Amino acid sequence: MKLDELDKRIIACLQGDLPLTKTPFADLAADLGITEKELLHKISVYLESDIMRRFGAVLHHQEAGFSANAMCCWVVPEELIEHTGKIMASFSEASHVFQRPCYPDWPYNLYTMIHARSRKILHSVVKQMSLQTGIDSYRLLFSKREFKKTSMKYF
């Protein structure tokens, strides 16, 4: 797909923060001089053609009051990865759930980033994840500080 000037303007808008309004896409569309329906269609075309892989939000968890943040590293049998990952992703406290390869000195293959208002609550969430999945081999790595989060800028 060849990008025209409108495509580049749309992508440039989507690289930034969405307006904090009840109608962010309508507001962006108005700024671009197109309808909300046209904008949403363009976004779906970008996703379908792999020009855009995903559309996401960044939560600055420390600023939002989530002072206990940890990566939980799990040892999950390969045949249970998909099922276990879906269960863990159903927890609202989990912002990321992803699989990585194991290594001889690092047996963990499933990771969940968990955010909570206290370490006590975080430990309780991990315990519930463990109980619901039957996976009890894990390690918690607590965040010490939050680094700047930025998105790629193409146009």
* pLDDT (0 to 100) of residue 54: 75
pLDDT tens sequence across 36-75 = 999 999 999 999 998 888 766 666 555 655 568 899 999 9
* pLDDT (0 to 100) of residue 2: 87
Confidence of residue 15 (pLDDT cuts 50, 70, 90): confident
Helix (H, G, I), strand (E, B), or coil: what is residue 110?
A: strand
> What residues have CB less than 8 Å from 115, skipping those under 6 apart?
59, 61, 66, 68, 69, 93, 95, 122
* pLDDT (0 to 100) of residue 103: 95
pTM over 0.75: no
How far apart (Å, rounded) are the C-alpha atoms in residues 94 and 18?
23
68-142: what fold? Alpha-Beta Plaits (3.30.70)
Q: Could you state, in order of their start, the residue ranges of all structural domains in the chain? A: 5-48, 68-142
